[in-house]
Structure 1
Amino acid sequence: MYQPLETFSKFWIFKRDDPKIEPNDLDGIRLLTEQRANDIWRDYISDEQLHPDKLSDESWLNSSSLMSDEVSKVQWEKVWESDREQLPEDFLSHFSAWGEDTKIYFCCHNELIFETTWSIFQRTWKAFLFLDNGPILIGKKKKQAAQFFSSGWCNLLLR
């Protein structure tokens, strides 16, 4: 189900001093095996496409944003580059129904998915967003989701 996090080719993003990830939090970040990642991708993201770049306009990701562009898009990069540790307020508001122990998946593509909890993600999000080329954040059995882009914006979504 899991493989050693150290096998991830960009493991350095979790070992940097800035942002620093505490050892307990690092222990709570799991890299799924390719088979388990494929299962999560198929069940939560798409059973047709293998990468966020390939998702069609009919995909739930491209058709499920919230009511207006002002509400459904959040600028994350300015906060990421600042000294502020907390995620942007509009982002946190979208996920306010999630409990600290909600199991989350940070889905880069069908074979690269990380599993952790919402509380750990909130503390370590800056490390995860070194991977900003379309990854999707979803929660197990939750309807809220987000997709991050290298433009510095993310789309807030509902599944």
Structure 2
Amino acid sequence: MSYTTLDEYQRKWIFTHQSMPVPEADWPQIKPMTQARAAQFWKENISAQSPDAERLSSQDWPMKDNNWWDEVDWMQAWEADENELPEAVAQFIDWQDDVTVYFCYEKYNVIETKWSTFKRYWKNFLFYDDGPILLGRRRSEALWFSTNGTVKLGKRK
């Protein structure tokens, strides 16, 4: 099996937090990977050596400055009453709603969902913001969120 249920997920609280709970009917669309599957995905798509964003090596694609072309604020939109993604992010990621995306917190913690689900609940995903990277299946665009309230917009090369 490649996934655990949201009920079994160690950080379930980010989706059930009383300030912005995800409706239970949408839980099946948020698919935390098992630790083994997450580790394999991380190794193939982020880093073969580093377990998290803080310890990426200069050889890992996210650490190469030429992969990132802009950095914008996400915290202001996160704190706003509206639920829209930051405008620059929405303009940069022009994916169809059914594109599979991977929100990569660290080597053993990756969540698979659809772009439409991520857009709807992006604030929940960012309750835990220690350098997660968003990738799309068969897409080169990438987002790298930082605890300082910014997100890098770039392309995986």
Q: Report the TM range for the smaller structure's normalisation.
A: over 0.9
Distance 2:117 2:44 in 1: 23
Distance 2:10 2:35 in 1: 14
Residues 1:142 and 2:145 are matched in the alignment = no
Q: How many residues align?
A: 153
Match in the other structure for 2:82 = 84
- 2:71–2:151 Cα contact (<8 Å) kept: yes
Q: Which residue, out of 116, 119, 127, partners 1:119?
A: 116
Distance 2:57 2:23 in 1: 38
Distance 2:8 2:24 in 1: 17
Match in the other structure for 1:69 = none
- 1:74–1:90 Cα contact (<8 Å) kept: yes
- 1:31–1:113 Cα contact (<8 Å) kept: yes
Q: Deviation at 1:84?
A: 1.3
- 1:61–1:157 Cα contact (<8 Å) kept: no
Distance 2:20 2:59 in 1: 36
CA offsets 1:80-132 (integer angstroms, 9 cap, x no match): 01101010110011111x11000000001111000100000000000000110
> Normalization by structure 2: what TM-score?
0.92
Structure 2: state its 5+ residue gaps: none
Distance 1:126 1:79 in 2: 9
Q: Deviation at 1:8?
A: 2.4
Corresponding residue SS for 1:137: strand
Match in the other structure for 1:32 = 33
- 2:100–2:113 Cα contact (<8 Å) kept: yes
Identity, in percent, stands at 33
Residues 1:16 and 2:17 are matched in the alignment = yes
Distance 1:128 1:51 in 2: 16
Residues 1:75 and 2:78 are matched in the alignment = no
> Normalization by structure 1: what TM-score?
0.91
Query: What amino acid does structure 2 have at the position aligned with 1:125?
Result: W
- 2:5–2:28 Cα contact (<8 Å) kept: no
- 2:35–2:109 Cα contact (<8 Å) kept: yes
Match in the other structure for 1:65 = 68
Q: Deviation at 1:12?
A: 1.2
